[in-house]
Structure 1
Amino acid sequence: MPIIDAWMQHPTLRHSNHEMFDSLRRWTGGMVLEEPLPVEVTVAVLEAADVEIGLSAAWYGPQGALISNDEVASFVAQSDRRLRGVAGVDLSRPVDAVRELRRAVDELGFVALRVVPWLWGLPPTDRLYYPLYAACVELGVPFCTQVGHTGPLRPSETGRPIPYIDQVALDFPELTIVCGHIGYPWTAEMVAVADKHVNVYIDTSAYTARRYPNELVEYLRGRGRRKVLFGTNYPMITPSQALEHLEQLGLDEETRGLFLSGNARRLFAL
């Protein structure tokens, strides 16, 4: 069965070795990279788990680009179509950010925008996001963001589904919002917001299948089968690691197909 990874990144050294990820390296046993990771290594990891497409994102924060859009475009070009680009922008410069998003979509062929709120210390309801939401609607691309606590050593408040995602969905009902990292410990809130808003979705990145909270598994098995997408947060978790205990979720064939690829293919127009 083909698989689409809705949240991953091919790292640069600026990204992978950043001090804010020390806590993740402690949890996962990951090492500081001495040399840039070749794109063919990432492609091989995806192929090993039958991942047809990985949505590889840029990373922009107040300190600048940890992974730039042009670097992502280069990775995509080297991946034999295994990767698709997800844009990042400098949130502090809203006019330039909208221009860069348009360039990424129209010229580079990127399929979404991702902003990580804890990286900026600004919740998704901050006014700096709002021009980007309107641009996403006009361009027909989803807005991807992080929900739940932060593994990196940064405050977690910006990851609350209520009030932040709930309010954005009310203000921009046409905006497709994909919320990565499940929302734990506010998973029940995240499910409620996805239930409430037709264009709000959840991806499972940063968690292996055996660590999905019960609230999410029950939602995925039932009324949420068209609302949950598979993701890994590679390279922190590989697709093979994330899927190792998939059978224990008890998904029927239709739900499994929607979760692993169908929902992402629809939302990102892949």
Structure 2
Amino acid sequence: MEGHTMIIDVWAQHPTRRFMQHDMFDSLRRWTGTTAPLDELPVAATIATMDAAGVDVALISAWYGPEGALISNDEVAGFVAQAPGRLVGVAAVDLARPMSAVRELRRCVRDLGFAALRVVPWLWGWPPDDRRYYPLYAECVELGIPFCTQVGHTGPLRTSETGRPIPYLDNVALDFPELVIVAGHVGYPWTNEMIAVAHKHQNVYIDTSAYTVTRFPSELVAHLKGDHHKVLFGTNYPMISAAKALEGLDELKLSESSAQLFLHGHAERIFGVSVAR
């Protein structure tokens, strides 16, 4: 990129070894020609990868599925403590136990200082308008935090149906107009649906995690070039590094205001993240 502007990565993980070695990621390893690491990744390695791309802050999420925590909330809190000001925690919860999930979310926000909740629907096989999510949506509104989720097809060998923006996210936004929703992974092959939902609902946004700039669908590029777009930058690190994700950004020729909203402006406001200069 030309010069340096603030950059916030809104979808990342600092992975545990059990996360990276899980067999659901075999398809991703096959695509990329990589193997699962044998050792735990130090936090310093994640910070170095951020520094190489000029990323100021990364929101790193816990991962919780039916089999338990692949990255626990307390592990995320430990990673954040090693890099204060650079890493911000995002909670994950056990969707099958709604009341325990609500209490855990409160703990993560009030005690651990986390900035959001993320649920990946394909991990559970339940779309976002399933009744099990609804107590969490109400709690997100009460806590003043956004709900982050995945839209579009899945890279791992799991069902893609839960990632359809219409009807699932559209229904949620209708039922919870105060809930801020950040939908990750651009929604492909339903990107037009995702843009339509973001246009329709004041509090719905899109993030570009899991896609490099050169792979953005054309309809997303057209939306991003508008001064009033609703798109945030994300990587899905460690699957994609920030440097790789940002290659080709200058060629999009975004206006200064569009670029700033994309790279940090929306994220600062939605997640309450401040970037120390």
Q: TM-score range by the shorter chain?
A: over 0.9
Percent of aligned pairs with the same amino acid: 68
The question of 1:77 aligning with 2:61 is answered no
| Total equivalences in the alignment | 269
Alpha-carbon distance between aligned partners in 2 of 1:133 and 1:89, rounded to the nearest angstrom: 12
**What's the TM-score, normalizing by structure 1?**
0.98
Alpha-carbon distance between aligned partners in 2 of 1:71 and 1:29, rounded to the nearest angstrom: 28
For each residue in 1:110-143, what CA deviation from the matched residue of structure 2 results, as whole angstroms up to 9, or x when unmatched? 0000000000000001000000000000000000
CA apart distance, 1:223: 5.6
Q: Which residue of 1 aligns with 2:127?
A: 123
Q: Which residue of 2 aligns with 1:93?
A: 97
CA apart distance, 1:224: 4.3
Does the 8 Å contact 2:185/2:209 carry over to 1? yes
Alpha-carbon distance between aligned partners in 2 of 1:29 and 1:10, rounded to the nearest angstrom: 20
Alpha-carbon distance between aligned partners in 2 of 1:102 and 1:60, rounded to the nearest angstrom: 16
Q: Which residue of 2 aligns with 1:169?
A: 173
SS, match of residue 132 in structure 2: helix
Q: Which residue of 2 aligns with 1:234?
A: 237
Alpha-carbon distance between aligned partners in 2 of 1:82 and 1:269, rounded to the nearest angstrom: 14
The question of 1:257 aligning with 2:265 is answered no
For each residue in 1:54-111, what CA deviation from the matched residue of structure 2 results, as whole angstroms up to 9, or x when unmatched? 0000000000000000000000001132100000000000000000000000000000
Alpha-carbon distance between aligned partners in 2 of 1:265 and 1:50, rounded to the nearest angstrom: 16
Counterpart pick for 1:112 among 112, 116, 128? 116
Q: How does 1:1-270 map to 2 (within 5 A)?
A: 1-222=5-226, 224-225=228-229, 227-270=230-273
Letter of the structure 2 residue corresponding to residue 118 of structure 1? W
Does the 8 Å contact 1:210/1:248 carry over to 2? no
Does the 8 Å contact 2:152/2:163 carry over to 1? yes
Alpha-carbon distance between aligned partners in 1 of 2:101 and 2:234, rounded to the nearest angstrom: 26
CA apart distance, 1:30: 2.4
Letter of the structure 2 residue corresponding to residue 57 of structure 1? S
Does the 8 Å contact 2:12/2:237 carry over to 1? yes
Does the 8 Å contact 1:9/1:58 carry over to 2? yes
* RMSD of aligned alpha carbons: 0.7
Does the 8 Å contact 2:227/2:258 carry over to 1? no
Does the 8 Å contact 2:214/2:248 carry over to 1? yes
Alpha-carbon distance between aligned partners in 1 of 2:32 and 2:63, rounded to the nearest angstrom: 21
Alpha-carbon distance between aligned partners in 1 of 2:35 and 2:266, rounded to the nearest angstrom: 33
- In the alignment, structure 2 segments of 5+ residues that lack a partner are none
CA apart distance, 1:31: 1.8
